[in-house]
Chain A
Amino acid sequence: MRLALALSIAALLAVFLLYTSIAGGGTPSLRPSQLLVDTHEGKRVTLSGKVIGTVRGDAQAGGLRFRLRDVKGTGSVPVVYRGSVPDMFRTGRDISVDGHLRSGTFIGVKNTLVTKCPSKYSSKK
């Protein structure tokens, strides 16, 4: 009986390991300044930061263009993004977006832009 139990737990673990080995764990989350140090060439990363400057362009055509800066810091990168834009998006908001750096510009993956903690539900003071 104990054997059956041990086997089933082992099976569950095996499934888990199988998944992590196939999918390779997770997407790295970076700040703009980290991206400037190590581009993670060609690899998909999540970039989080604050939107600064003016937002130009059309997210449904040529792409939305803006700069993303460290929430606490000075490093910043230009971003081009296509796809749906959350209601809360505007200059000054903290956002994160998936993509990769190509020749100095961060190319966003479609529909991955999310704004962070806009609600008063957060405890940040």
Chain B
Amino acid sequence: MAELGRAALVICLGLSVYALLAGGYSAFRGKRRLSLSARNALIAAFAAAAVASVVLFAALVRHDFSFSYVAEHSARRLPTLYALSAFWGGQEGSLLLWLLILTAYSAAAVLVNRRSAPDLVAWVVPVLGGVAVFFSFMLVAVSSPFETQPAPADGAGLNPSLQNLHMLIHPVLLYLGFVGLTVPFAFGMGSLLAKRGDERWIVATRRWTLAAWGFLGIGQLIGAHWAYVEVGWGGYYAWDPVENAALMPWLASTAFLHSVMVQEKKGMLKIWNMLLVAGGFCLALFGTFLTRSGILSSIHSFTESPLGAWFLGFIAIVIVFSLGLIFLRLPLLRTKTKLESLVSREASFLYNNLLLVAFCLTILWGVLYPILSEAVRGEPSHVSGPYYNFFLHVFGLPLLLLMGIGPLLAWRKTSLRTLAKTWAWPAAASVVAGVVLLALGAGSSIPGLIAYTFSAFVIASIVVEFVRGTKARRAVAGGSWPSAFSSLVSRNRRRYGGYVIHAAVVLLAIGIAGSSAYDTTREAKLRPGQSMEIRGYTLTYRRLVEHQAENAREIRALVDVRRGDSAEGTLSAGKNHYPVERQTSNEVAIRSNAVTGEDLYLIAQQIDPNGTVFFKAEVLPLVNLIWLAGFIFIGGTLIALWPDARESRRLAERYGYAAARA
């Protein structure tokens, strides 16, 4: 079976090389039939990658330990569901997942656009082929998932912390996001290669970028939730390099999603958009590299992992290629339109981009700091939480405010009088919110208070936008309020989907501010019968219970929770001991308040043999808004993504092709 997998990968490599070379040559010479055959090779590469993936998955399900990869990442007792987690639990498998998703996206993207933009697709094929060449080459020659060995009796098992639903979904979503950024990159570069200076590539890839961006966002939230409930230190984000790896391309593509609107509307920022799309793709590659090669603690770790040098080499090639190409095509990308006013919609997009990119670069600087400082001073230094939090405040808070201001500004320029009129409600709302919160004692954290007043401003401005739009719609078409509302949203899915996403980001900001700026932590060593107090809760430690589960010994401390006079049930926090893996894991207890969104978070830090337990309790206000934001984020993204017949007709007229039947 391993031979089949290996053969499929070699075929995939061959097809990708063909798509790159034949595709490039035929596009250059304008040979239509050869171009079609290169395109078909790219689609066939997907089939080959799928065969290789099925082989590996089948081996995992059948516990075929003659595959080294299966022996290293699974065991007989591993439930079949987690065979999937094991698929991407290691380096080789996750590279295969990259290739599978890449070829799937490639096949779909060239098929969807083959009629409407054939000249563009002719050049997109070799770019996508080039990326596929790299990943299939890695899988064939450097890091093969199909190495074989004499089968051992049982495998080494999968890390217990990966055996949960979060870790089943999270990596796939991140990869769908990382890899998805290849599509806009390939179309951007394809457009330059085809000597097109227009925004056709942006129109063709808008939904692809949005989908990739949405996957990346949700993937990160699931990762944060995993850290919160499974890792159990009381937080959800720790500015770890591996976490930052996903945040950076997300920030870059957030900037891109906004700046392309300026190009579509005004024909400006063409060079900038090309740089952003190339930067986003490089960050996605860098992110894959970071998560695949462990924590970058030293310059020397680059040479330790065979993967590192290859990845860095490929990233360097991508950078040189895209910068060179952009430089060559500069005359095409120059624009005549100038920014007319610093107070306009396009200017606000510009500020948004500067802030997002600045934040992204400071994170990149922080991630690379150990390597840079070792190279310069011979001694590695690193930056941690305070560094990142400083920049989160400096760049994140203005971004939050901008989210309320931008949508209220008109294109080209906005007069001060209209400004005063549109800002009246949001400004009033934020002042009221600020005063009320100050009276409630929110002044204990200045960044927190600022975040809340800004959030009030943004929410009010979103409401104003919806009300204004619905009123206008009703004035034109008549009918009831709800029907005017739904017709408003369905006629401008992109815009109002965007506002819904903005609302989700505001909720996220409120949740982060509440749980990080206004949290309370108490620690106490308790004997059975003793109590501790935290923010109105009384926690009484009752006793320890032990339970022998299938693969772990579970110890739990039972703690009664009271709030004032009312009993609020029992929490059980403790530890699991895994004898086979020789590991212990903290099992935290969380009590969520559905009304206030507040969590009581209990960790049994240390359990002594005599029954004494050292507890750490935290109260995290509003933390559940973060998870709620995730659902709203999905909703908004879906609204903005949904196929729109009206839009496709408009585009068909503009670019002169027959509208695809949607």
Contacts and interface: CB of A to CB of B under 8 A. Distances in A.
Interface of A: 1, 4-5, 8-9, 12, 15-16, 19, 23, 25-30, 34, 46, 48, 58-61, 84-85, 87-88, 90, 116-124
Nearest to A16: B362
| Max chain B Cβ within 10 angstroms of own Cβ: one of A5, A23, A25, A124 | A25
Interface in B392-424: 394
B305 A123 contact: yes
Interface of A is mostly: loop
Contact of B297 (A28, A85, A90, A116): A116
Contact of B383 (A12, A25, A30, A34): A25
Contacts of A122: 293-294
Given A19-B387, A46-B382, A87-B583, 7 more contacts: A15-B394, A26-B382, A60-B523, A60-B605, A84-B603, A87-B585, A116-B295
Nearest to A38: B379
Nearest to B301: A124
Interface string B577-617: 00000111110000000000000000101101000001010
B490 to A, nearest CB: 37
B552 interface: no
Contacts of A120: 72-73, 89-90, 158-159, 162
Interface in B462-502: none
A28 B379 contact: yes
A26 B390 CA distance: 13
B126 to A, nearest CB: 30
A116 B295 CA distance: 8
Given A23-B386, A27-B384, A84-B605, A119 B159 contact: yes
Interface of B: 72-73, 89-91, 158-159, 161-162, 233, 291-295, 297-298, 304-305, 307, 338-339, 342, 350-351, 354, 358, 362, 369-370, 373, 379-384, 386-387, 390-391, 394, 523, 525, 575, 582-586, 603, 605-606, 608, 614, 616
A27 B382 contact: yes
Given A8-B351, A60-B614, A26 B159 contact: no
A118 B298 CA distance: 17
A123 B91 contact: yes
A120 B582 CA distance: 14
Contact of B379 (A9, A30, A58, A119): A30
A54 to B, nearest CB: 16
B305 A25 contact: no
By Cβ-Cβ distance, the 4 closest A-B pairs, closest first, are: A26-B381, A122-B294, A60-B614, A29-B380
Given A1-B338, A9-B354, A87-B583, A26 B369 contact: yes
Contacts, number: 102
Given A12-B358, A85-B606, A120-B73, A25 B304 contact: no
Contacts of B298: 29
Contact of B293 (A5, A9, A34, A123): A123
Contact of A123 (B307, B351, B383): B307
B606 A29 contact: no
B87 to A, nearest CB: 12
A116 B370 CA distance: 15
A120 B394 CA distance: 36
A105 B614 CA distance: 26
B381 A4 contact: no
Contacts of A118: 159
Nearest to B232: A87
A16 B293 CA distance: 29
Contacts of A121: 89-90, 159, 162, 291, 294
Contacts of A34: 379
B605 A12 contact: no
Contacts of B292: 123
A102 B307 CA distance: 40
Nearest to B577: A87
| Max chain B Cβ within 10 angstroms of own Cβ: one of A15, A26, A46, A119 | A26
Contacts of A26: 369-370, 373, 381-383, 387
A25 B162 CA distance: 35
Given A8-B351, A23-B386, A27-B382, A119 B161 contact: yes
A29 B391 CA distance: 22
Contacts of B304: 124
A60 B586 contact: no
Contacts of B161: 119
A59 B606 contact: yes
B506 to A, nearest CB: 24
B48 to A, nearest CB: 25
Contacts of A25: 369, 373, 381, 383
Nearest to B143: A123
| Max chain A Cβ within 10 angstroms of own Cβ: one of B381, B523, B575, B614 | B381
A15 B358 CA distance: 10
Nearest to A29: B380
B383 A60 contact: no
Nearest to B394: A15
Given A46-B382, A123-B305, A87 B586 contact: yes
A112 B288 CA distance: 27
